[in-house]
Amino acid sequence: MVEKSSGINNDWSIISGLVTEKALPILPHIRSKKLRSEIISNLFESQAAEYFNSIGQLVKPCLSDRDPDLFFIESGKPLEIKVTGADDETNTKLKWMGGKYSKRTSDYVFISWHYQPAMNTLYGHKDETIKYFIAQTFVDESEWSVMDNGNDNYYATVYTTEDLFRKDYQVLVGRHY
């Protein structure tokens, strides 16, 4: 059962919990950070669509890369979800990457995640967890940088924490250190 929302920050906290519940059984078996990020990204897209529809905020999930990740039907507004993995929980110097359709003008939810496996410490057992930093802002397509790796067949766009912090943004989950 999905908990009823009491605001946008709570919505994304609930969605993060749903993603974590589905991701934790899988992540220990996957070594590739890129594949982990793709799984978490897909889970955020699907769980956000299911959650918002369940609380009466009707959304249409994307059907292809050309579509926004979520399209809120009543307001007629798209929302893009960008996900990146963080090497540690301090969330510094992050960058979110995407293809040429990432450059659309839209509201964005930028998500960073850090997986912490279960471990025994001097202070006892710590359960495995995923920590998130989630922020929302509006991004114009001109604000995305094109990443050049020197390969003519490669194209990617990038948006960094520095780009995010130069604008008005709202932290939805977690905090940036």
Asked whether the predicted pLDDT for residue 176 surpasses 80, the reply is no
pTM above 0.85, yes or no: yes
Contacts of 68 (CB under 8 A, 6+ apart): 62, 78, 79, 80, 104, 106
The pLDDT mean for the chain works out to 87
Cα dist from 58 to 53, 74, 105, whole Å? 5, 7, 21
Residue range 148-161: average pLDDT?
75
The model's confidence at residue 126, banded by pLDDT at 50, 70 and 90, is confident
CA-based radius of gyration for the chain:
17
* Contact present, 128 and 99 (Cβ < 8 Å): no
Higher per-residue confidence, 171 vs 63: 171
